[in-house]
Structure 1
Amino acid sequence: MRVFEILEEIIEAVEDAKGVPMSSSAIVNRPALLDLLDDLRDAFPAAVEDAREILEQRDEIISSARAEADRLEESCNNEAHRLVTEARDGAERTTREADEYADRTVSKANSDADRIVAGAQAEATAISQTARAKADGIVQTARDEHQRLVSDHEVHRSAVAAAEDVRVDAERQAAKLRSDADRYVEDSLSQLSLTLQKLMHTVEGGRDQVHTRRSGYRDVYDQDGRR
């Protein structure tokens, strides 16, 4: 700026002036110093105008910066609200899908359990009936044989003994068949019980995972709400 240049020239002129002996005064070039002062006086209005323009520009810059800052803040708030809304919608959708999946899993598990139980019971009943029928048939055959041998007078004694042996053996085989049938039914029901326990454990584990994710989503909602 011209004002500062003139001031520098005046300062240099004063500093370079010859000093008066035995005094703090100095001899300066009066015409040159007056010319510099005239230049300084002429330069002041332009400098003031420049300063005024700079101040106006500064105010405009500050106002524009504030408006831009407000616009950016509003845009950030809108974007943050949009992101939070999308996150909440996604979390609700994920929770709803997880609940539906858990309900389908539980329903399928219940259907499978009912089907397995019904199948096992039907198979156990059929095996038990077959075993009992076979045992009854053996017993009846033994009884018929016993009666036939008993009625034969020629071999009465041996027939009685043989018939008794046949009867005892038949009853033993029948008892064994009944025991085997009952044990098979018991083993089948025990295995079915273990299968159902594992299935219910899996279902409960799925429910716990769903509840854990749901708690996590609720924490996110709470944190977003606090923000």
Structure 2
Amino acid sequence: MYKTFQGLDDLQNMVDQAYGVPMTSNCMVPRREVQDLLDEVRTAIPIEMDDAQDVLDRRDAVLAEAEDEAEGMISDAKSERDRILDEARRQADEMVADAENQATATVSRAEAEADRLVSDARRDAEDTVSRAESESQRLVSAGNESYDRSVNEGIAEQQRLVSEAEVVRQANDEARRIVESAHADSDRLRRECDQYVDSTLAQFEESLTGTLRTVTRDRTALRKGAGVSGPRAPRGDGGDRGGRGEHSDVRESSREDGWGTRG
């Protein structure tokens, strides 16, 4: 069959590669080569037909043999299946038994461990409760002592603050008394100073008044002396004496009025 298809393929390639005849759909192929290919195909067809007929003749035998082999394989598969199932059941039973034994042992160990843990927990709980009670009693006692100490310290601090408040009150009273005394002394000193200044100014006023009166009298006397009318006395003993007498009278009157007392 292979040679037949090979010859047909070669013939198809030859036709495809042949030169075409112009103006037509024909082509030119080598006659000798085409005839050789046709002879090969013609020679190969009977041989392959015989092979195909042999296959057809042996079909029933092949099918019967295949069926026998299939039945044998099925029987072997069933036997193997049964064996595997039996082995699996046996192994499963063994595994279940081992698992049950291990589970029983594990449960026993777990129960023993649980009993031990419960016992330890109870013992630890009792110890913890005992320590907690002791600690609570100690804390309560310490709290009571701290409370009493705080109360005593508070009372002492209150008394100290009351004492300090009394001291502060006395200090405030003393400061108020000192301030009032200072104000009284200041008022007294101000009054005395005012009295002293007033008396000094009064004396100064009296002195100025006396001085003004003296100045007024002196000015009046001077005006009177400058305004004397009459012939001037001739120079000589009598005249000189007369002139000196008038001036001496003015000076004496001035002395009497207090003109010379200022110096």
Q: Give the TM-score range, shorter chain.
A: 0.3 to 0.5
> Which of these two proteins has the greater Rg computed from alpha carbons?
2
TM-score by length of 1: 0.47
- Ranked by relative contact order (alpha carbons within 8 Å, sequence separation 6 or more), the top structure is 1
TM-score by length of 2: 0.41
